[in-house]
Amino acid sequence: MSPRLNYMQQSSDLFKKLSTLSMGVKASGIESGILYLVDIRASQLNGCAFCLDMHIKQAKIGGERELRLHHVAIWRESPLFSERERAALAWTEALTRLGEHGVSDSDYAAALEQFSEKELSDLTFAVGIINLWNRLNIAFRNVPGSLDKAFGLERAELA
pLDDT in tens, the chain (159 residues): 788 999 999 999 999 999 999 999 999 999 999 999 999 999 999 999 999 999 999 999 999 999 999 999 999 999 999 999 999 999 999 999 998 999 999 999 999 999 999 999 999 999 999 999 999 999 999 988 788 788 888 888 876
Q: Is 21 helix (H, G, I), strand (E, B) or coil?
A: helix
Domains (range + CATH), the chain: 25-156 (1.20.1290.10)
Amino acid at 140: F
pTM comes to: 0.94
Which of 117, 103, 131 lies closest to 21, judged by CA? 131
**What's the CA angle centered on 108, arms 80 and 133, to 5 degrees?**
70
Q: Tell me if 94 sits within 8 A of 103, measured CB to CB.
A: yes
Distance separating alpha carbons of residues 140 and 118, to the nearest angstrom = 33
Stated length of the chain: 159
